[in-house]
Chains A and B, each alone.
Chain A
Amino acid sequence: MSEQSVEITVNGKTISAEPGEMVIAAAERAGEFIPRFCYHPRMSSVGMCRQCLVEIDTGRGPMLQPSCMVPVSPGMTVDTESDTTKQAQEGILELLLANHPLDCPVCDKGGECPLQDQAFSHGPGESRYIEEKRHYEKPIDISSLIMLDRERCVLCDRCTRFADEVAGDPLIHFVERGNATQVMTYPDEPFSSHFSGNTAQICPVGALTAKPYRFKARPWDLEQANSTCTSCSVGCEISVHSSRDRVLRYQGIDNDDVNWGWLCDRGRFNFESIHAEGRVTEPLIKTADGHQATSWNAAMSITTELLNESLASAGASSVGVIGGARGTNEDAWAWAQLCAALGIERHDPQLGDGLPAALLGMPRATIREMASAATVVLLAPDLKEELPVLYLRLRDAVVNGSTRIIEFTSTGSGLTRHAWRSIRHGAGDVGSTISATFADADVQAQLSSGPVVVVAGRGNLATSADVEFAALQQLMTAVDGATVLPALRRGNVVGALQAGLAPTSAASDTTSTLTAAANGQIEVLVLLGSDPLADFPDRDLAAAALNGAGRVVSITGHMNASTVDADVVLPAAVMSEKTGSTTNLEGRVAPIAKKVNTPGVARADWMIAVELADRLGHDLGVSSVEGISEQLTSVGAGVGSVWSVPFESSAVEVNVAPKGGYDVDLIVSRVMYDGGVATASSPSLAGLANGRSVAVNPAVLEQLGIDSGEMIRLVSEHGSAELPVCPDDRLDRGTVWAAFGQPGRESGFGDVRSLISSSAPVSRIRIERVS
């Protein structure tokens, strides 16, 4: 409690409140719950529903006032239980129920419904209304994920306020007035926000429901466990709800340090992939007739034999481990220990689509520090697409705080409209763009006005990590005292790097391992929950590596492109099927809860590592996940701590040749929904991927005489791809953009990754007409 706290009296109890705090919040902290529908602690108060009327006396006698709109003042007396208060609250509830259909027995909200609960606790018990209720068409789709039942709506403004204030996508709004007021989208323009699922969670009635959960369970049948979302590295706190051994939904939990209760739709709904068709349930061995199921014992014997042979004959450098960023800290620790025991140096949890681990050796910032910084410099992919809840936090810092954003981008992003400066750069000139921008006196004044946090990630997958990392190093040198918030995307990438899976040098990272494999120097390639064919930017190299590697061992939850042809496939447990911890992008360690059993005989990655070590004659000294957790806690990675380990960093030199015959910069980045396994195997999300296309400045298309939707050919020194084109005036004329990893192979469209070479610092192309 701060020094200037305000003393107020609630129901005869004296309590201290923060200055400016609303009565409803102060009373709740003191244990006096005031009923409410529209009030939400993470959004502005609007006083829409009037349910929180209580008698407040500020010296002029007690008066009924909405406690969500009245800030505390010294000496205030609040009575939440007086007869007048009770009468007012009962009256409001009777009015709210005047049009509410009371179809609770068939309503998904029944059992966890604030309207139902508060009708019992604060309602009149019966209604005097006998009139016909308001009627609307029963649930209508307002997006492919959310349904709206306007009859149940009590017009609290929570969803519309969320869309406007929090998400910044005001695609739903109150339309009409008076008795006809309703929440509605624009005709033919669905509520396709990346954050739409939150509205179903905060709806205080059953008006908004999320399709993946509709009619799946009753709240009282659900088992719950607190866990952490690992869809990206923000690490939002969630509650996993399951029934009869199936995960049925994730709900966001308000974590003050991280997600404030919000989730993105990808994180909220991709639990469906846990129970997807494509799960690997038994160990598989490749035979002449394809994969044959076998026992763990047989599969482990073969894997042990493969490892033993190659270690003995070709040494540790002939074994490479790629992946590990999708597991728990415990999984990563066990695999790092196994690699260390066997002397394997080739291990890397990233797939050439992140930044060097030295990023984590820079002075680090937390999300909270980012949100309170004077200046945030974005040298990262579009946060709204890749780290959506981090976007919400940063957007809030700008809109409701005093943070200013300086953004370096090639394409514009979801934050461009909130940026104080949004600076465009080409594929190879980010360094010089930074120098030029920082030469500006206004920018210098802004940078020296307070703490500076750099959000750093891989903005362009068609530009090498070295180019982007060199720019970051230059930026960090230019700004004294700046700290970095790593914007690497995979759920536990920071945990995996810090647990010891970081490559020991550039010569042992994924790019170098895949290059060695393509050259026939890798005997055993272990894919630890990774899919290089889908995720490595240089697709041709990934394909050559999988062909050239002696044997491929894939440890995976789902069948994927790289696994289809693997020699050994070991079934792995996925999130919500194993216990442990995960580390988010700021280094915060959070728990992972097991809520359902693995399908078939799948096991957690750490168990596989421990058993392999044992068979290879090494004792990792642990036999349970708790044992590993203890080890991690002893190095500062206990749940709840912010964990960091030192990483060496050396200056990266890059040399980008000037533009030649290929004069268009290729920008490739991820969007929220792609062909990745978690999205593709979640039926509700799979259809939301845009598919393959390339965005080009409309003036360029006009010049070439190409219409929107027509095919164009992109040609680089390394390959070519034919893709449908869409005009995008956010791009300048020397730049084209394509989304990474979009499904569409079956449509015959080319893959933009065939233009990328991991040996080239930047990707430059020519645009040609097809035919």
Chain B
Amino acid sequence: MARLTDENVTLAKEIIDRYPRAKSALIPLLHIAQEQDGWVTDEAMRQIAELIGVTPAEVLGTGTFYEMFKFEPVGKYLINVCGTMSCALLGADDLMHAAEEELGIHEGGTTDDGMFTLHRAECQAACTEAPCLQVNYRYRFRTTPVEVRQLISDLRNGRLDDEIPPHGTLARVRQHIPADKGVGAVDPSQVTSPPEWITASAEGGAS
């Protein structure tokens, strides 16, 4: 735990090589750290700083700007109950209460077994489907307190494992770019002409 595994360090180095400047790989590396532990640990941030040649303070500063990076332990399932206007009017509070009761924790808390973290979220852009919530960013639309209890029970019993991977998972199928397919890193100072597509669209007479 905590520091990146050897496998992830190899992956991190591969990602760093895709960029002309190592520090451009900061966000992808934070994703890897979060995928490994479910959240971004202090040790991982230090290691990322070493890998890309910045200070840990810069890693922390950049990372904490993004709401979806977590810097404290979160459960395997992060439940975000929307609390903004449409959902609030259509019973978001009831969903929250049902979840709190079912999980035995307060809003913002994590269950002792490390399975669930419960948050109130800002608008999730599904106002027509209010009230809504997300589990590890997978939507549940027009939800009711009964469905929330059912959802939690299903998650507990592993009945949704196929649909919802643990918090932090980026993808189940890892995208891999073979070295010969990559465009390769070009130092920005070496770029003298506009990208190809600009010339192409100008010649093509796009209206």
Q: Report whether chain A binds chain B.
A: yes
CB-nearest residue of chain A to B42: A187
Bound state CA distance, A171 and B45, in angstroms? 14
For A172, the chain B residues whose CB sits under 8 A away are 57
Check A174–B55 contact: CB distance below 8 A. no
Residue A615 is within 8 A (CB to CB) of chain B in the complex = no
Besides A174-B65, A184-B60, A186-B45, 12 other CB < 8 A contacts?
A170-B57, A171-B57, A173-B57, A174-B61, A175-B60, A175-B64, A176-B65, A184-B61, A185-B57, A186-B55, A186-B57, A189-B56
Asked whether B58 is an interface residue with its Cβ less than 8 Å from the other chain, the reply is: yes
Q: How many residues of chain A have a CB within 8 Å of chain B? A: 14
> Are A186 and B56 neighbours in the complex by a CB distance under 8 Å?
yes
In the bound complex, what is the Cα–Cα distance between A6 and B46 (angstroms)? 48
Q: Looking at the assembled complex, report how far the CB atom of A172 sits from the nearest CB atom of chain B, in whole angstroms.
A: 6
A478-501 contact mask (Cβ, 8 Å, vs B): 1 or 0 = 000000000000000000000000
Min CB distance B69 to A, Å, is: 11
Residues of B within 8 A of A170 (CB): 54-55, 57-58
Asked if residues A175 and B61 are in contact (CB atoms below 8 Å), the reply is yes
CB-CB under 8 A from A184, the residues of chain B are 57, 60-61
Residues of A within 8 A of B54 (CB): 170
How would residues 154 to 191 of chain A score, 1 for a CB under 8 Å from any chain B CB and 0 otherwise?
A: 00000000000000011111111100000011110100
Minimal beta-carbon separation of A157 from chain B (angstroms): 11
Q: Which residue of A lies closest to B65 (CB)?
A: A177
How far in angstroms is the closest Cβ of chain B from A704? Answer: 26
**Separation of A176 and B63 alpha carbons in the complex (Å):** 8
Pull 25 A–B residue pairs with CB atoms less than 8 Å apart, ordered by A.
A169-B55, A170-B54, A170-B55, A170-B58, A171-B57, A172-B57, A173-B55, A173-B57, A173-B58, A173-B60, A173-B62, A174-B61, A174-B65, A175-B60, A175-B61, A175-B64, A176-B64, A176-B65, A177-B67, A184-B57, A184-B60, A186-B55, A186-B56, A186-B59, A187-B42
How many pairs of residues, A versus B, come closer than 8 Å at their CB atoms? 39
Which residues from chain A contact B61 at a C-beta distance below 8 Å? 173-175, 184
- B139 → chain A closest CB, angstroms: 24
Chain B at the A interface: SS class: helix
Interface of chain A: mostly helix, strand, loop or mixed: strand
Contacts of B62 in A (CB 8 A): 173
A177 and B61 alpha carbons, distance in the complex (Å): 9
Chain A residues contacting B58 (CB-CB under 8 Å) are: 170, 173
Chain B nearest CB, measured from A338 CB (Å): 52
Q: Which residues of B contact A185 (CB under 8 A)?
A: 57
* Pairwise interchain contact B55-A171, C-beta atoms closer than 8 A: yes
Q: For the complex, what is the distance from the CA of A173 to the CA of B59, rounded to whole Å?
A: 9
Q: Which residues of A contact B (CB under 8 A)?
A: 169-177, 184-187, 189
- A-B pairs with the 3 shortest C-beta distances? A173-B61, A186-B56, A186-B57
A-side contacts of B55, CB under 8 Å: 169-171, 173, 186, 189
Q: Complex: how many Å from CA A189 to CA B58? A: 12
Q: Give the complex CA separation of A485 and B137 in angstroms.
A: 61
For A170, A171, A173, A185, the residue with the greatest tally of chain B CB atoms inside 10 Å of its CB is: A173
Q: Which residues of A contact B60 (CB under 8 A)?
A: 173, 175, 184, 186
State which residues 49-100 of B face A: CB under 8 Å.
Answer: 54-62, 64-65, 67
A171 vs B59: C-alpha distance in the bound complex, in angstroms? 10
Contact with A along B36-52 (1 / 0, CB 8 A): 00000010011000000
Cβ-closest chain B residue relative to A169: B55
A432 to B53, CA, bound (A): 32
For the complex formed, measure the closest distance between the CB of A167 and the CB atoms of chain B, giving whole angstroms.
12
In angstroms, Cα B54 to Cα A189, docked, is 13
Shortest CB-to-CB span from B48 to chain A, Å, is 12
Please, how many angstroms separate the alpha-carbon atoms of A169 and B56 in the complex? 11
Task: Report B59 CB to chain A, min CB distance, Å.
Answer: 8
Q: What residue of chain A has the Cβ atom nearest to residue B66's Cβ?
A: A177
Q: How far is the CA of A530 from the CA of B55 in the complex (A)?
A: 40
Residues of the B chain whose Cβ atoms lie less than 8 Å from the Cβ of A176: 64-65
Q: Which of B42, B45, B46, B64 contacts A177 (CB 8 A)?
A: B64
Q: A160's closest neighbor in chain B, by CB?
A: B61
Shortest CB-to-CB span from A43 to chain B, Å, is: 17
Q: Which residue of A lies closest to B46 (CB)?
A: A186
A169 to B45, CA, bound (A): 17
Contacts of B3-60 to chain A: CB distance below 8 A: 42, 45-46, 54-60
| Docked complex Cα distance between A171 and B46 (Å) | 12
Docked Cα-Cα span, A189 to B46, in Å, equals 10
Question: Which residues of the partner chain B approach A174 to less than 8 Å between Cβ atoms?
Answer: 61, 65
**Distance to closest chain B CB from A524 (angstroms):** 54
The residues of B that contact A173 with a CB separation of less than 8 Å are: 55, 57-58, 60-62
* A622 shortest CB reach to chain B, Å: 54
Report the bound CA distance from A174 to B64 in whole Å: 9
CA distance A169 to B67 in the complex (A): 26
| B62 nearest in chain A by CB position | A173
Closest chain A CB from B43 CB (angstroms): 11
Q: How far is the CA of A177 from the CA of B65 in the complex (A)?
A: 5
B42, B57, B58 — which one has the most chain A CB atoms within 10 A of its CB? B57
| CB neighbours of B45 from chain A (8 A) | 186
- B57 and A189 within 8 A (CB): yes
Chain A contacts for B56, CB-based, 8 A? 186, 189
A174 to B56, CA, bound (A): 12
Q: Provide the residues of chain A in CB contact with B67, threshold 8 Å.
A: 177
CB distance from B41 to the nearest CB of A (A): 11
CA A175 to CA B61, docked complex, whole Å: 4
Tell me the smallest distance from the CB of A633 to a CB of chain B, in Å.
48
Tell me the bound Cα distance from A184 to B59 in angstroms: 12
State how many angstroms separate the Cβ of B194 from the closest Cβ of chain A. Answer: 24
Cα–Cα distance between A511 and B38 once the two chains are bound (Å): 64
Whose C-beta in chain A lies nearest to the C-beta of B55?
Answer: A170
- Inside 8 A of B65's CB, which chain A residues have their CB? 174, 176-177
A568 to B76, CA, bound (A): 76
CA A172 to CA B42, docked complex, whole Å = 16
Q: How far is the CA of A169 from the CA of B42 in the complex (A)?
A: 20
**Which residues on B sit within 8 Å (CB–CB) of A186?**
45-46, 55-57, 59-60
Chain B residues 181-205 with CB under 8 Å of chain A are none
> In the docked arrangement, what's the CA distance between A189 and B56, Å?
8
Report the minimal beta-carbon distance from A677 to chain B, rounded to whole angstroms. Answer: 33
Tell me the minimal C-beta distance from A363 to chain B in angstroms: 34
Q: A177 to B60: give the CA distance in the assembly, Å.
A: 12
Expressed in whole angstroms, the Cα–Cα distance for A171 and B56 within the complex equals: 8
Complex Cα distance A187/B57, Å? 8
B197 to chain A, nearest CB (A): 31
- Cα of A349 to Cα of B46 in the assembled complex, Å: 46
The minimal Cβ–Cβ distance linking A684 to chain B, given in whole angstroms, is 23
Interface centre among B59, B62, B65 (most CB of A within 10 A): B65
Q: Closest CB-CB distance, A159 to chain B, in whole Å?
A: 12
User: Considering the chains assembled together, what is the distance between the CA atoms of A176 and B70 in angstroms?
Assistant: 11
Cα–Cα distance between A173 and B64 once the two chains are bound (Å): 11
Q: Give the complex CA separation of A717 and B61 in angstroms.
A: 52
Could you tell me the distance in whole angstroms from the C-beta of B57 to the nearest C-beta in chain A? 4
Closest to B53 in A: A417
How far does the Cβ of B79 sit from chain A's closest Cβ, in whole Å? 22
Which single residue of chain B is at the shortest CB-CB distance from A189?
A: B56
Q: Which residue of B lies closest to A177 (CB)?
A: B65
Chain B nearest CB from A183 CB (Å) reads 9
CB distance from B174 to the nearest CB of A (A): 30
Contacting residues, chain B, for A189 (C-beta < 8 A): 55-57
Q: How far is the CA of A169 from the CA of B57 in the complex (A)?
A: 10
User: Chain B's nearest CB lies how many Å from the CB of A760?
Assistant: 39
CB distance from B55 to the nearest CB of A (A): 5
Bound Cα distance from A750 to B64, whole angstroms: 46
Name the CB-closest residue of A to B45. Answer: A186
CA distance A186 to B54 in the complex (A): 12
